[in-house]
């Protein structure tokens, strides 16, 4: 076999390898953290401001009891008219995510029935707004079986 044939075999082998890699890459499934990641990135400064405001206001406590998850606001936010969202984010499976409106009573307590949640680990993201002032809290919790 002369050098010309060997060169053609190398080129054909390289083309086959590249074709295989391209085929595998085209059929790879990518799960993004968020479908709207670009707009969320643009609003990231708002989250930073919310973390700073939450640090001065105090921490939200998350407690799990029989059948209920309790979210308790710090004393400075109790009784205020709050808008926003409570997001139970499941990093393992987006189908387990739960988004709720903030339904805090005058004592700053919100109860969530555990039957709404799958027993997995969640990252609880609480985004609150009180008259244009953002507050953002984030805490990890593992929901146990009932």
pLDDT in tens, 45-73: 888 888 888 888 888 888 888 888 888 88
What is the value of pTM for the model shown? 0.71
Q: Convert 114-130 to b/e letters by CB count within 10 Å (16 or more is b).
A: beebbeeebebbbbbbb
Confidence band of 16 (pLDDT split at 50, 70, 90): very high
pLDDT at 73: 86
Query: Is residue 33 over pLDDT 70?
Result: no
In angstroms, the first-to-last Cα distance of the chain is: 73
Residue percentage of the chain with pLDDT more than 90: 20
pLDDT at 146: 57
Query: Is residue 8 over pLDDT 90?
Result: yes
């Amino acid at each position: 076999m002369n050098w010309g044939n060997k060169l053609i075999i190398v080129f054909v082998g390289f083309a086959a390898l590249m074709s295989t890699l391209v085929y595998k890459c085209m059929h790879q499934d990518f799960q993004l953290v968020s479908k709207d990641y670009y707009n969320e990135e643009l609003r990231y400064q708002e989250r930073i401001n919310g973390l700073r405001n939450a640090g001065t206001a105090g921490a939200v406590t998350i407690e799990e009891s029989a059948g209920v998850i309790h979210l308790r606001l710090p004393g400075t936010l109790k009784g205020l008219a709050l808008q926003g969202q409570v997001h139970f984010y499941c990093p393992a499976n987006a189908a387990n995510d739960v988004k709720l409106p903030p339904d805090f009573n005058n004592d700053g307590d919100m109860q969530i029935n555990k039957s709404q949640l799958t027993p997995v680990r969640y990252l609880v993201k609480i985004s609150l707004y009180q008259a244009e002032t953002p507050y953002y809290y984030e805490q990890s919790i593992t929901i146990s079986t009932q």
